[in-house]
Every structure is written in C-alpha cells, then in structure tokens.
Amino acid sequence: MLNSIQTARREPILAERGLTMTIINWCEKAGASFYNGGWVKTVTGIDKTKSNGYCFEGDFISGADKGLTEVDDGFYIVCDIQGSRRHPERNFGLFQVQGDNVEQVLDWVQGGDWALQIRDKVADILAADQDDGPVEFTGDEMRLLEQLKALAPDRLEMVLKALRK
C-alpha cells in the first residue's frame, strides 16, 4: 500500500539529472475534498496581460482530484469545489512541492476575481524562486562592491537603508 507521499526515482537518466517525481494524494496534502470537482495545475509562469485563470501558465495534473498523482517539484494551484451542486464554493490555493514536502504558500481565496487576488503574489513567489545563476558585474560595479565590503557593518547597514528609501 502506498503512503500519501512517496518519492519515486525514475530511470537512471532522471536520477543523473537530479529529477524526482513525488507521488501525492492532493486530497490529504491540500486538505481538499474535491467533493464537487476541482483541479490541480502546475504553475510555470504568469501572463500579466490576462486577469483570469488563464494568466497561470502550466499544465493540469490529470486525475489529481481522484487520488494519487505523480508531480515534479514546483508550484501548483489547487481548485477545490465544495458546497452543493446548486451553490458551489470554489477555493483556490497555491502549494509548493519540494521532494517529500508539500507546503501551502498562499491561503485559500474565493470569488470570481480569484485569479487577480493571487496573480501578482504568485508572480513574486515565482520570481523569488528563480535561480538566475551567477551575476556578472561591470568594472564600476565591482569597485563599488569592494568599497561596500570594506565598510564597517554599522556603516554598511546605514548605506543599505539609504538605498531602500
């Protein structure tokens, strides 16, 4: 019998690349009942020209509302439809999967404007999660960095505060 989460290594090619798939029961991990339906979608990018659910780029996870599914590390929007069939209540939340860990990153939101309620927050979260690699500085920037490194910690803090204003 499978646990609600298991890390499953695929073929050696995936292991060499450090990629893992995690088996998740979204009902348990997201606290979603999917009583009247719902869906899970991976979020790989944001199209800020759109103000509805289509602003979230990514693929839907097939069968996520029915039981166990395999997912990669990343961010996922979960739509859980509760209430009655006549009066459904759609709840949307953002979750992050990292290995065996599933964490709700944004609380549940409701309403016809749900996408606008979370679009910019999701964009900020995705941007903060991006690894742009090493930054290349110009000669002037390198000299400035050296000067900043030479400052006493209290002076450096004052300079950084002044920059934030």
- Domain positions in the chain are 5-129, 135-165
Angstrom distance (rounded) from CA 78 to CA 75: 10
Q: Is the pTM of this model over 0.95?
A: no
The alpha carbon dihedral of 108, 77, 105, 10 has a sign of: positive
The pLDDT of residue 130 is above 70: yes
CA distances from 21 to 24, 71, 72, 134, 158 (A): 9, 5, 5, 28, 46
The pLDDT of residue 154 is above 70: yes
The pLDDT of residue 135 is above 70: no
- CB of 80 within 8 A of CB of 33? yes
Angstrom distance (rounded) from CA 97 to CA 42: 10
- CB of 52 within 8 A of CB of 68? no
Task: Give the range among 3-7, 26-30, 57-61 with minimum mean pLDDT.
Answer: 3-7
SS3 at position 84: coil
- The pLDDT confidence band at residue 67, using thresholds 50, 70 and 90, is confident
Write down the pLDDT at residue 113: 94
Query: Residue 88 is encoded by which pair of tokens?
Result: 């459904």
- The pLDDT confidence band at residue 9, using thresholds 50, 70 and 90, is very low
- CB of 22 within 8 A of CB of 28? no
| Residue with tokens 């450090």, as numbered in its chain | 18
- CB of 100 within 8 A of CB of 7? yes
